[in-house]
Structure formats: structure tokens, C-alpha cells
Amino acid sequence: MAILRGDLPDLGKDRDRTYRLGIMGGTFDPIHNGHLVCAECAFDALGLDMVVFMPAGSPAFKQDKRVSSGEDRYAMTLLATSDNPHFIASRFEVDRAGVTYTADTLQLLRKIYPDNVDFYFITGADAIAEVVAWRDADKVAELAHLVGATRPGYDLAHAETAIERSPYKFDVTYLEVPALAISSSYLRGRVREGKSLRYLTPDPVTGYIHKHQLYGARASRYGAGEGSFGVLAGEGRTDGQA
Ligand code: NAP
């Protein structure tokens, strides 16, 4: 598949058909197997042509929180998605200056892609519940189908009520993804405690976390110790979110 505009997939050439582009929006701090399984489920369930993983640049809603750099989150996303032919990691948001709003992203994508490419914005159902209050929520409703990923037992009532009460017409599909029992905060906690990330995220991501000393990891001890990646709690780089 050719690449269009930087790292975005080239879709829409055949004017006789409609294409479906999945956009995995998340902070991905770090990306994990739950995100990957979620994207694969959405790819299958919605008949998507490609899924673009788009780490949030400077997330609008996390200005008061410590988040790892866009470069680190993008690099981990690239490592995690590189072996799947229908996944692409994109710098589209991390390269944009200032706070990144989803409505702006979708409007820019709409200018890039022809109108036979439909957008499916995939993210956690918690985030979908808040979408009605996002900046230019009307544009989000107009420009994309939304896919809210949930873990088993997740109570959808909050999200459904918020969407129903909105003056805008959101098209939302909910997708239950058992692997979403994994979360980024769980992984960060495990790194801090010196526990293994094996089978929770692809090994190259674990390697990156230790090499770059994210979440309190210590590079020099990577690979040492059984059942552990040799992290010493509370040591290492401190600019990642703890
Ligand atoms: P979040 O509030 O940190 O995450 C909410 C929940 O959803 C967490 O449990 C999270 O788990 C999960 N999640 C996040 N992304 C996911 C994905 N792609 N697939 C499955 N589960 C996912 O939300 P966030 O990750 O920072 O933001 C989600 C997306 O919404 C981003 O693209 C962001 O830019 C957008 N957003 C836009 C606005 C706005 O435009 N005003 C406001 C808020 C969010 P993990 O922690 O394990 O990922």
C-alpha cells in the first residue's frame, strides 16, 4: 500500500467503492496488547481497509498530567504495529503544534482524503462518553463514525445516555474487547514495581521502555532477573507519567 501525505495510507483511488479508514486515537502511554487486539477486532467487525494508530499529540484533556513525550509514544506505537500489514503508526498528531483536538484532526483528514473514504474513530468507551463535551463535538459527529471499545462488564449506561442526550447525531458502535482488561496505567505500575511486561505488550515496546528509562525503568538492568525486566522501582527517568 502506498503512503500518502507523510505516513498516512493512500486510500480512495477506486471511485466505484467506499473505503473505511480506522483511526485508533489514544495517548498510548504505553501502547499494549489490549490496544492491538482492539484495533484488530474493529478491523474485522467493521470491515476496515486500514487502521491508523494516531498517538495524541498534546492531549487536550491531559494538560495537567504528566505524559511521556510524543516521540516516545509514537516510537512505541511504531514498534508495536510494524508487523501488521493493515496497521500504520502515524505522526499526524504528534507533529502538530499546540493542543491536539480530535475535531481538528478529522477536519484535516477530510481535506486529505476523497469523499469515498469514511472515517471510523476508535477509542476507549470512557473517552466516547466524554465526546459530547469535546471541542467542536458537532464536527466530530459529522466527520466520523465512532467506535467505543469496552472491557467485559463495562457499564455502557453513562456513555449511551451522554450520546443520546447530545444535540448532535453521533454514530457509535460499541465493541467488547476482553483484552482491554490490560491498561496503560497497569503496565506503568508493573514497570515501577520491576515486574515483567511479557505478553502484555510486544517485546520491542518493553525494550524501548527500558532503553529510554520510561516509567521508572532502569536500562542497565533490562533482561536481568527471572520474571522481571530488571527494573528498580522508583529509579530512572522521571519525565514519563508515573
Ligand atoms: P483516556 O481518557 O486516557 O482513556 C480512556 C480509556 O480508554 C482508558 O481506559 C484507556 O485505556 C482507553 N483507551 C484509550 N484509547 C484507546 C483505544 N484507542 N482503544 C481502546 N481503548 C483505549 O483517553 P485518551 O487515550 O487520552 O484519548 C482517547 C482519544 O480521544 C485520543 O485520540 C484523544 O486525542 C481523544 N480525545 C479528544 C479530546 C478533544 O478533542 N477535546 C478530548 C479527549 C480525548 P489505556 O489507558 O490503556 O489506553
Q: Residue 64 corresponds to which cell in the numbers above?
A: 495537567
pTM score, two decimals? 0.90
Q: Residue 149 corresponds to which cell in the numbers above?
A: 471499545
Predicted pLDDT at 195: 95
φ/ψ of residue 15, rounded to 5: -70, -10
**112-147: per-residue pLDDT in tens?**
999 999 999 999 998 888 999 999 999 999 999 999
**209-224: per-residue pLDDT in tens?**
999 999 999 754 555 4
What is the percentage of the chain residues whose pLDDT exceeds 90? 76
Predicted pLDDT at 59: 63
Return d(Cα 106, Cα 119) in angstroms, integer.
8
List domains and CATH numbers for the chain: 19-182 (3.40.50.620)
Contact 151, 176 (CB under 8 A): yes
Write the CB contacts of 154 (distance below 8 Å, at least 6 apart in sequence).
Answer: 125, 176
* Dist. CA 15 → ligand 1 center (Å): 33
User: Looking up cell 505500575, which residue turns up?
Assistant: 189
In the chain, what is the greatest distance between 2 CA atoms, to the nearest angstrom?
Answer: 57
Q: Which of 70, 80, 68, 69 is nearest to 31 (CA)?
A: 80
Test site for ligand 1: of 24, 27, 58, most ligand atoms within 8 A of the Cβ: 27
pLDDT at 87 over 50: yes
Predicted pLDDT at 60: 60
Residue with CA at minimum distance from ligand 1 atom 25:
26
**Atom in ligand 1 nearest the alpha carbon of residue 140:** 40
User: Looking up cell 500500500, which residue turns up?
Assistant: 1
Predicted pLDDT at 3: 52
β-partners of residue 132 are none
**88-119: per-residue pLDDT in tens?**
999 999 998 888 999 999 999 999 999 999 99
**45-68: per-residue pLDDT in tens?**
999 999 999 999 876 666 667 899
Write the CB contacts of 209 (distance below 8 Å, at least 6 apart in sequence).
Answer: 30, 76, 191, 197, 215, 217
pLDDT confidence tier of residue 189, bands split at 50, 70 and 90 = very high
SS3 track for 155-178? CCHHHHHHHHHCCCCCCEEEEECH
Predicted pLDDT at 61: 64
User: Looking up cell 476496515, which residue turns up?
Assistant: 48
Residue with CA at minimum distance from ligand 1 atom 21:
124
* Dist. CA 14 → ligand 1 center (Å): 32
Sign of the dihedral defined by the CA atoms of residues 211, 216, 222, 228, in that order: negative
